[in-house]
Chains A and B, each alone.
Chain A
Amino acid sequence: MESIRIKTSQRIPLPFLTDRVAAGFPSPATDHEEKDLDLNEHLIEHPSSTFFIRVEGDSMEGAAILDNDILIVDRSITPTHGSIVVAVVHGEITVKRLFRENKRIELHAENPQYAPIDVSYDAGFKIWGVVSGVVRKT
């Protein structure tokens, strides 16, 4: 089964040297070369529970989540009040901030144009995963 999944083996090597290379004599830095920086490792703590989801729209602009961004969603994180979550409301998948107070559960956009969604009594409401990062190409 061919696939491009989140692979720890597909690393982009960016050698990171702690010291400048001095010309003229052997660099003492070569003894201190540290391991390559790996963006996957930095962004993804639990590969098996992490999924990428594409953002559509501007409802989370205030949280610096823009249209077409890629969300890093880690399902192993337990959602709490204030988490940015991917949730299912009426069969639709949405990204919002979770607001939880006593028995009241709401999903808040980070854009004044969108009203909060009260999901306290919505049987179909489900949290899909917690957003742990955002990736954007400029």
Chain B
Amino acid sequence: MIGLIDSNNFYVSCERVFNPRLENRPVVVLSNNDGNVVARSNEAKALGIKMGIPFHQIKTIVKLEEVAVYSSNYALYGDMSRRVTSTVRDMIPDVEVYSIDEQFLDFNSFGKYDLKKLGEQINRTVKQYTGIPTSLGIAKTKTLSKIANHLAKKSMTHKGLYVLENEQLIKEYLSLIPVSDLWGIGGRYTLKLAKHNIHTALDLYNTPEQWVKQHMTIVGLRLWYELHGMPCLQLEETQKPKKNICTSRSFSSKQTELSVIKEALATHATTCAQKLRKQGCVTNFINVFVQTNRYSDDPKYSNSFTCTLPESSNDSRVLIHYALKALERIFRAGYKYQKCGVMVSGLTPENQRQTSLFANEKADESLTKGDTLMGVMDTLNEKYGRDTIKIGTAAKSKQTKSWEMNQSYLSPKYTTNWEDLLRAK
């Protein structure tokens, strides 16, 4: 049996752990730059506040209904997510971290246990240890566990836990789910299936295996097996290192100055380099892009340029240097830029670093020195908070603060900063 455990209204729940006054109140959490609503408490949902709605559209409701508003506090949510995962893992060792608030659990070595009791114990323990409420759905396959999880969350009688085993019950629920809602069924497939009168998940379930083999890809066939309770999707317990890393952000107001964009790009390049060092990788290519607002009436322009590095690197200074070189190629004066970003690709593990054909001993030496310097930078930034030490170009001047992330409603970093600890009288 496979379980899918998911933290209810996760970002809101994190805020509530450290601020008990938020209980029973409508709470929303906003996306980067405080743009859109990305998490809602049940009370906020009951007010009709929709997922993804732009914040400025609900400002009146927020005021009238005294909705508590928070900027995304990723330091806090990341820490709480790790706590939830590790609490779950202490009980069920085989865990796949599916997202910041979802984990798949493999119950197959717990055959002789009462899964209902075990499930209740998992929810209860996570709530006690971390303060985060969870919902757990258990079924024979990953696909069915998603359905069970949905039921655990929505069912009034099954508070937070649903073990979906009964074949008849599975069929009834499948009849309620549009086939387009299933994993791996895209828009193109939905149209094709509709032509063959397959509209619900149950229609697909009732389709003969042979037909699926003939008319669908391996993804479709796997899905068919999964619906029939035959596991085809394995738990991915180890996170694969990323193949590329992208750091980009919209400016909080539109920018025309080259200097501002340079600074933003240098910061993005620094972040990319940090991420590379964290996963022990180096990059061969750096791609820089700039764009104006697609939807405004101002003249539009967008472009990108990729530099190939002479030697693969994860040195902030090298990445900044080539990011700015790329920018020079694509920057056009006179446009109001809305967004810029840096992407690194062609990542290879550090220990298989490709050096250039003309690399000499002196270069090797500076390479080692660079590694040490970057190591010191990372350590200091980790110890004293991010952005303690930065490369010159990435250091923010006052006039250019404008491109930084807008986080007007940020809660304290309760678990990751000594100055921000929760206080008790």
Question: Within 8 Å of chain A (Cβ to Cβ): is B381?
Answer: yes
Between A57, A94, A128, the greatest number of chain B beta carbons within 10 A of the residue's beta carbon is seen for A128
Q: Mark contacts of A54-65 with chain B using CB atoms, 8 A cut-off: 1 yes-contact digit, 0 otherwise.
A: 111101000000
Q: Does A101 contact B (CB under 8 A)?
A: no
A2:B423 contact, CB within 8 angstroms? no
Choice from B20, B90, B128, B385 contacting A93 with Cβ under 8 Å: B20
Q: Does A30 contact B (CB under 8 A)?
A: no
Q: Which of B21, B83, B129, B424 has the most CB of A within 10 A?
A: B424
Binding site of B, secondary structure by majority: helix, strand, loop or mixed? helix
- Point out the residues of chain A lying under 8 angstroms from B131, CB to CB: 75, 128
- Among the listed A2, A59, A91, A94, which residue makes an inter-chain contact with B21, where contact means beta carbons less than 8 Å apart? A91
Contacts of A46 in B (CB 8 A): 129
Q: Mark A63-98, 1 if CB is under 8 A from B, else 0.
A: 000000011000110000000001010011111000
Cα A22 to Cα B128 in complex, Å, equals 52
Interface residues of B in 116-170 (CB under 8 A from A): 128-131
Contacts of B20 in A (CB 8 A): 88, 91-93, 124, 126, 128
Across the interface, name the chain B residue whose C-beta is closest to A131: B424
B83 and A55 form a contact (CB under 8 A): no
Partner of A1, one of B21, B78, B87, B422: B78
Instruction: Evaluate whether A55 and B90 lie within 8 angstroms (CB atoms) in the complex, with A48-B130, A76-B128 already known.
Output: no
Give Cα A24–Cα B274 distance, bound, in whole angstroms: 48
Chain B residues closer than 8 Å to A48, beta-carbon distance: 82-83, 86-87, 90, 129-130
Interchain nearest-CB distance for B73 vs A (Å): 10
Question: What's the least CB distance linking A87 to chain B, in Å?
Answer: 9
Interchain CA distance A21-B425 in the complex, whole Å: 49
Query: Using an 8 Å CB-CB cutoff, how does the interface string of B74-112 with A read, 1 for contact, 0 for none?
Result: 110111001100110010000000000000000000000
A4 CB within 8 Å of chain B = yes
Contact assessment for B90 and A53 in the assembled complex, using a CB-CB cutoff below 8 Å: no
Chain B contacts to A: CB under 8 angstroms: 20-21, 74-75, 77-79, 82-83, 86-87, 90, 128-131, 381-383, 385-386, 413-418, 421-425
Counting from the closest, the 9 A-B pairs by CB-CB distance are A1-B78, A49-B129, A3-B416, A91-B21, A48-B86, A54-B421, A95-B424, A88-B20, A48-B83
Ordered by A's residue number, 5 sampled pairs between the chains whose C-beta atoms are within 8 Å are: A1-B74, A75-B129, A93-B424, A128-B20, A128-B131
10 additional contacts (CB under 8 A) given A56-B425, A93-B422: A2-B75, A49-B129, A52-B418, A53-B421, A53-B423, A53-B424, A59-B425, A91-B20, A92-B425, A93-B20
Q: A-side interface residues toward B, CB under 8 Å?
A: 1-5, 46-49, 51-57, 59, 70-71, 75-76, 86, 88, 91-95, 124, 126, 128
